[in-house]
């Protein structure tokens, strides 16, 4: 049977490149805390945008979609779900809100995991919500030729409750013994996915648990920047590192490093994005056109209209479009491409 001993494994991960990522995140955390304390009210817009992006991205990874308009209404709780996909999206919205608002009171326990999973399915009425899998499952993949094959064989159904219990205890023991939570969190998440405890919803639960454990450890960047979106944008690497770190898992011979390295990179990317958006908030005393101008100027490389609007959720699409036209007329920015591929870049020749 698989042994769950993070306490004996985390020190093997203290290699130079992983330590460098840890150092960056620790520094970002200090900056984050100072800014959040001083500007908590001004961060509300970032929270709302992150909720929408997180709900969309985490479900999108699993092939769960709805229109942009419907998604926004569901996340803002301004409509009722109409389809199975929308029921799943509404469930994710509510569990995400629970974690945002009450993470301090949700310890990592099997009972808590089951309750969060139950709420994930509360709109669908499906009996699988809040219950471990009742039959053995497999993690399968379909190649480019349409051939389906088993990528990983999780633990059997009868072993699942005990496996989750052991994994939760192993996490607590490692953190209490002084292990850096940033290392132990992805180790636990990898084991959770290898156990694959539910008939459905394992991937979405793994991302919700990632947020929960990060928040409980003081890394709350996911409230302001969607970590799920960063994962969705790099999902090929996400799956590759999961595969690499699960080889030899049943025999206790797997290497956590690929997945840990990937997840730390995701967290660093989220913090960098947070820092850039903080800069936008710092310039909030400027006029809206001037803020758009500064964003484009401070961006190395190209930026799209959608990306500008993400950074400035309080600025209307009409204002953004009008400002882009004016900046083009002045020769301060250069338009690249056309149609849905249109992007803009600052004209460095005039600096």
Residue with tokens 């030729």: 145
Does residue 279 have a pLDDT over 90?
no
Q: Which residue's entry shows tokens 């595969």?
A: 243
> Which whole-number Å values give the CA distances from 217 to 175, 312, 334, 342, in the listed order?
10, 29, 43, 40
- CA-based nearest residue to 170, from 340, 343, 3: 3
What is the pTM (predicted TM-score) of this model? 0.83
Q: Say what the pLDDT of residue 90 is.
A: 95
**Count of CB atoms situated within 10 Å of the CB of 98:** 17
Reported as a pLDDT band with limits 50, 70 and 90, residue 255 is: very high
Distance CA 87, CA 65 (A): 11
Structure tokens at 118: 């139950």
Judge whether 130 and 117 are in contact, CB under 8 Å: yes
Instruction: Take residue 20 and report the two structure tokens written for it.
Output: 């460098």
Q: Sorting pLDDT into bands at 50, 70 and 90, what band is 146?
A: confident
DSSP calls for 125-174? T-TTTTS--SS---EEEE-TTS-EEEEE----GGGHHHHHHHHHHHHHHH
For the segment 168-213, what is each residue's pLDDT rounded down to a tens digit?
Answer: 999 999 999 999 999 999 999 999 999 999 999 999 999 999 999 9
pLDDT at 117 (0 to 100): 97
If residue 333 lies in a helix (H) or strand (E), which one and from where to where? Answer: strand 333-336
Give residue 338's pLDDT: 86
Which letter, b or e, does each residue of 108-135 get, where b requires 16 or more Cβ atoms within 10 Å of its Cβ?
bebeebbbbbebbbebbebebbbebbee
| Backbone φ and ψ of 322, nearest 5° | -65, -40
Q: Would the pLDDT of 114 be above 90?
A: yes
Task: Identify the band that residue 262 occupies on the pLDDT scale cut at 50, 70 and 90.
Answer: very high
Domains of the chain, first to last: 6-279 (1.10.3290.10), 286-350 (1.10.10.10)
- Per cent of the chain over pLDDT 70 is 95
pLDDT band at residue 284 using 50, 70 and 90 as cut-offs: low
pLDDT band (50, 70, 90) for residue 280? low
User: What backbone torsions phi and psi does residue 140 show, to the nearest 5 degrees?
Assistant: -110, 160
pLDDT at 59: 94
Would you list the DSSP string of 13-50? G--HHHHHHHHHHHHHHHHHHHHHHHHTGGGHHHHHHH
- 205 is written with which tokens? 């639960």
Cα distances (angstroms) measured from residue 327 to each of 125, 198, 283: 52, 53, 18
pLDDT per residue as tens digits for the range 23-69: 999 999 988 877 777 666 668 878 888 999 999 999 999 999 899 89
pLDDT tier for residue 287 given thresholds of 50, 70 and 90:
confident
């Amino acid at each position: 049977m698989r042994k769950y001993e993070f306490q004996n494994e985390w020190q093997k991960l203290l290699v130079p490149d992983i330590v460098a990522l840890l150092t960056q995140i620790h520094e970002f955390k200090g900056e984050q805390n100072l800014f959040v304390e001083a500007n908590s009210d001004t961060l509300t817009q970032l929270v709302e945008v992150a909720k929408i992006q997180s709900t969309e991205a985490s479900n999108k990874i699993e092939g769960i979609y709805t229109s942009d308009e419907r998604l926004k209404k569901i996340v803002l709780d301004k409509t009722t779900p109409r389809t199975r996909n929308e029921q799943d999206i509404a469930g994710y919205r509510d569990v995400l809100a629970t974690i945002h608002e009450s993470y301090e009171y949700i310890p990592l326990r099997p009972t808590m995991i089951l309750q969060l999973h139950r709420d994930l399915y509360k709109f669908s009425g499906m009996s699988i919500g809040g219950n471990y899998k009742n039959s053995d499952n497999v993690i399968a993949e379909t190649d480019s030729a349409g051939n389906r094959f088993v990528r990983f064989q999780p633990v059997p159904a009868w072993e699942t409750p005990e496996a989750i219990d052991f994994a939760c205890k192993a996490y607590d023991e490692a953190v209490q013994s002084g292990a850096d939570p940033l290392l132990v969190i992805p180790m636990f998440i990898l084991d959770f996915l290898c156990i694959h405890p539910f008939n459905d919803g394992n991937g979405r639960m793994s991302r919700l648990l990632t947020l929960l454990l990060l928040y409980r450890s003081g890394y709350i960047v996911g409230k302001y920047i969607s970590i799920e979106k960063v994962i969705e944008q790099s999902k090929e690497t996400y799956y590759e590192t999961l595969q690499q770190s699960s080889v030899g898992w049943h025999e206790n011979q797997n290497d956590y490093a690929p997945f840990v390295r990937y997840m730390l990179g995701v967290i660093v990317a989220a913090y960098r994005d947070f820092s850039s958006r903080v800069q936008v908030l710092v310039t909030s005393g400027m006029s809206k056109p001037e803020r758009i101008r500064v964003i484009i100027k401070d961006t190395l490389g190209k930026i799209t209209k959608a990306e500008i609007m993400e950074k400035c959720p309080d600025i209307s699409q009409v204002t953004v479009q009008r400002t882009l036209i004016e900046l083009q007329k002045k020769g301060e920015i250069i338009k690249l491409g056309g149609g849905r591929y249109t992007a803009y870049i600052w004209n460095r020749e005039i600096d």
